[in-house]
Structure 1
């Protein structure tokens, strides 16, 4: 008989009380479970650690799953790399990243995932859906800057999407300038920049949509025998444009010089309220800066002569361009039109000649059905002449221009004026052209000081 009755396998082969399994089977199962559990725990730890460094994905109401990433790379807009609002700082290796601040709080952080500072971050997928794949039927404007599409967002709001052309880095430069110059600016006469998209080489800007297109279409397009732009509407557009530019020049720090004021960059809403747009060429003037030296850019016919010859740019360059625009609004003529006789090709020269020879009514757009009063017309012509003064220092500020265009009284002085201007001024009756309008600082009953808002 064998000792103790054990089989040749020894104790490992004995059956246990656990489901009648032999001991070596239980040991194998336990070892397998231990190894599997360890590997699972390690996998979950690595996955959790990796997830903390991934871009966050949001589920939008549209049903799309756009990828939002805080790594913006080249979109550093100033010395600190701020793109607007709190919660961002520059990281030289990884672009802009979220840091402690508003984004660290749960609610604010969630909002920031859909909005960066002042504007909304749009993905390419969202804008493709909004514009029906950037379909040609949605094109509402195009030029050297790129193409503008009409788009409809999931909440049914209508927007304008500008797809910037990338010519030798042009898209990147214009993208940065527009975001920096106008992104955080809000004014009723400046087009609202709602957001942006930057994916790969693509740079897109999303604006509020303007129902009546741009001013150029209404001045030079096929509008029939009578223009819908009455004199009152034209003055509304001129005054609103002047106020928008005044805010850029006088209401911001640093001040913004637009550098491309023209009729195609004046957008119109349903009520014909104007909004200045397209800040791709804008320049910033910091405190204490009277001008900035830059490469001459703009649109032929609108560029101030001193800027064209020297490259020295300041707000008076915009004032000259506005003067040309105002002449365009009054006359309905292009700034430069080679289809006209030699003496009428250049709008500014023709305009000055007509005013100098006292043919003031002949400068009016023939498509205006009801002509303005002589008083209103002559007052507006005077503003034109002051804006295009060859001496940039004698041009008025945009705030003064807005005040003069909407005022019933028109303050002016004959000194420092060209013979043509004096010729026009002397045509006005005394009731139309007072020598001076009292200032708020004048004392009642005192002799008015010799001051003028022109100086």
Structure 2
């Protein structure tokens, strides 16, 4: 069978047509006029009018738009049906996101969070002078700086507002993640006992967080001072209640937040000894209602880590309860979480103190010497009981932070009534609260 497409026969004697040349001069003008006239004649004689043609095009466009919308709706419906058939159900809301997806969220600064230039923070801290250092840890250093509250520019100490400026000292994937994690949580948290985030700096290699300034510094510095008499028993109870309120707030969020680094050095005090919880670099979302725990690499500070988290990596809100128990023990004993003995060996304060907490006769051995003779032993026993419950080896036996908070508030109320009884004013107090 031959080819279906054949070339036309070619006669070599037949003259070949020459290619048309563009008209020039007067011929070009005449040609243009003739084309215009012929076009107008064709339009007036056979084609639709311009107005009817325009109307026809608009109708076509509307029809095409309706078809496109119907196509999109049907396409969306098909996608939804496919999701339901696979068991996906309704679209996932942020509150129900799994932990793996929450971790991948990119941090977006809040509208009321200031983005500072590095030059402004450098000037505010007197070029990050050593004289301005107010704290130091594994993350880097914290400086006191002064900012004009109106222009948010650097200011002098006598005219500006004091702020705390935390500079990330080390760089790497993990440290950058902690920096971003802290900003992600602090921009959404709002509680009187959670430190206030004022701004940040993300310029070139600089990672900086700007907080409100807490003039009395961290709790651990007061506990370790041998001659510090300001941290009396009633103030320690007040601090314990403030921290408990902060942690209870975190655990009561729509998606519970686990701090994971709850310790005395992360508790800051203002002029009235009101505490604020800081450093959310290790914080993460807790398990959902249908989960018993979230799995995580063990991270935190030695001496504060719950035993089940250390051995299994299972993270729950009860992990924070254990760490809070260690902070209560620090308030009670005036010792650090990892206690050094005379033979230079180290041991956890919680392990060392547990036998003494459960014995009324042994209790005085672990109470801070600065308050041991100014404390009612019945109150001390109640406080020790709360510590023991928080430090239970089995997380199921630990109370919730709401229960811990209620116990501490009841203890504070009992202490107030006891003091009023001493003054003979308890009956007036009871009448005022009936």
Task: Pick the TM interval, shorter chain.
Answer: 0.5 to 0.7
**Map of 1:220 onto structure 2:** 224
Q: Deviations over 1:361-396 (max 9, x none)?
A: 322100126522222111111100000101101111
How many residues align? The count is 301
**Map of 1:306 onto structure 2:** 308
> Does structure 1 residue 176 correspond to structure 2 residue 201?
no
Q: Please say if residues 357 and 388 of structure 2, whose CA atoms lie closer than 8 Å, have aligned partners that are also in contact.
A: no
Q: Which residues in structure 2 correspond to 1:250-399 (within 5 Å)?
A: 250=252, 252-285=253-286, 287-288=288-289, 289-340=291-342, 345-358=347-360, 359-368=362-371, 371-399=374-402
Q: Please say if residues 107 and 183 of structure 2, whose CA atoms lie closer than 8 Å, have aligned partners that are also in contact.
A: no
Structure 2 counterpart of 1:188, from 187, 192, 207: 192
Separation in 1 of the partners of 2:352 and 2:107? 48
Q: Please say if residues 230 and 370 of structure 1, whose CA atoms lie closer than 8 Å, have aligned partners that are also in contact.
A: no
Separation in 1 of the partners of 2:268 and 2:292? 29
Return closer, same or farther for 1:384/1:343 CA change in 2, 3 Å cut-off. Answer: farther
> Does structure 1 residue 126 correspond to structure 2 residue 120?
yes
Q: Please say if residues 230 and 369 of structure 1, whose CA atoms lie closer than 8 Å, have aligned partners that are also in contact.
A: no
Return closer, same or farther for 1:80/1:325 CA change in 2, 3 Å cut-off. Answer: closer
**Map of 2:47 onto structure 1:** none
The more displaced of 286-295 and 130-139 is 286-295
Question: After the TM superposition, which segments of 4 or more aligned residues of structure 1 sit over 4 Å from their partners?
Answer: 76-82, 340-344
**Map of 1:154 onto structure 2:** 148
Return closer, same or farther for 1:80/1:283 CA change in 2, 3 Å cut-off. Answer: closer
- Once the two structures are TM-superposed, the CA of residue 335 in structure 1 deviates from its matched residue by 1.8
**Map of 2:18 onto structure 1:** none
Return closer, same or farther for 1:275/1:409 CA change in 2, 3 Å cut-off. Answer: closer
- TM-score between the two structures when normalised by the length of structure 1: 0.62
Structure 1 counterpart of 2:235, from 230, 233, 236: 233
- Once the two structures are TM-superposed, the CA of residue 353 in structure 1 deviates from its matched residue by 1.3
Separation in 2 of the partners of 1:393 and 1:236? 27
Separation in 2 of the partners of 1:81 and 1:300? 30
- Once the two structures are TM-superposed, the CA of residue 286 in structure 1 deviates from its matched residue by 5.5
Instruction: State the SS of the aligned residue for 1:219.
Output: helix
Instruction: State the SS of the aligned residue for 2:351.
Output: helix
Which of 1 and 2 has higher RCO (CA within 8 Å, sep 6+)?
2
Q: Deviations over 1:166-204 (max 9, x none)?
A: 332233111211011222211111111111110112111
- Once the two structures are TM-superposed, the CA of residue 285 in structure 1 deviates from its matched residue by 2.2
- Once the two structures are TM-superposed, the CA of residue 342 in structure 1 deviates from its matched residue by 9.3
Separation in 2 of the partners of 1:171 and 1:409? 40
- Once the two structures are TM-superposed, the CA of residue 81 in structure 1 deviates from its matched residue by 4.3
- Once the two structures are TM-superposed, the CA of residue 253 in structure 1 deviates from its matched residue by 2.3
Q: Please say if residues 83 and 117 of structure 1, whose CA atoms lie closer than 8 Å, have aligned partners that are also in contact.
A: no
- Once the two structures are TM-superposed, the CA of residue 343 in structure 1 deviates from its matched residue by 10
Separation in 2 of the partners of 1:283 and 1:81? 14
Q: Deviations over 1:15-57 (max 9, x none)?
A: xxxxxxxxxxxxxxxxxxxxxxxxxxxxxxxxxxxxxxxxxxx
Separation in 1 of the partners of 2:102 and 2:123? 28
Q: Please say if residues 150 and 159 of structure 1, whose CA atoms lie closer than 8 Å, have aligned partners that are also in contact.
A: yes
**Map of 2:85 onto structure 1:** none
Return closer, same or farther for 1:228/1:369 CA change in 2, 3 Å cut-off. Answer: farther
Structure 1 counterpart of 2:167, from 163, 170, 173: 163
Q: Which runs of 5+ in 2 are unaligned?
A: 1-100, 150-159, 414-434
**Map of 1:90 onto structure 2:** none
- TM-score between the two structures when normalised by the length of structure 2: 0.65
Q: Please say if residues 77 and 176 of structure 1, whose CA atoms lie closer than 8 Å, have aligned partners that are also in contact.
A: no
Q: Deviations over 1:92-139 (max 9, x none)?
A: xxxxxxxxxxxxxxxxxxxxxxxx423111111111111111111111
Q: Please say if residues 287 and 293 of structure 2, whose CA atoms lie closer than 8 Å, have aligned partners that are also in contact.
A: no
**Higher helix fraction (1 or 2):** 2
- Once the two structures are TM-superposed, the CA of residue 215 in structure 1 deviates from its matched residue by 0.5
Instruction: State the SS of the aligned residue for 2:114.
Output: strand
Separation in 1 of the partners of 2:357 and 2:147? 50
Separation in 2 of the partners of 1:118 and 1:328? 36
Separation in 2 of the partners of 1:369 and 1:129? 46
Q: Which runs of 5+ in 1 are unaligned?
A: 1-75, 85-115, 411-455
Q: Please say if residues 305 and 390 of structure 1, whose CA atoms lie closer than 8 Å, have aligned partners that are also in contact.
A: yes
Q: Please say if residues 291 and 312 of structure 1, whose CA atoms lie closer than 8 Å, have aligned partners that are also in contact.
A: yes
Separation in 1 of the partners of 2:267 and 2:407? 20
Q: Which residues in structure 2 correspond to 1:34-53 (within 5 Å)?
A: none
- Once the two structures are TM-superposed, the CA of residue 79 in structure 1 deviates from its matched residue by 6.3
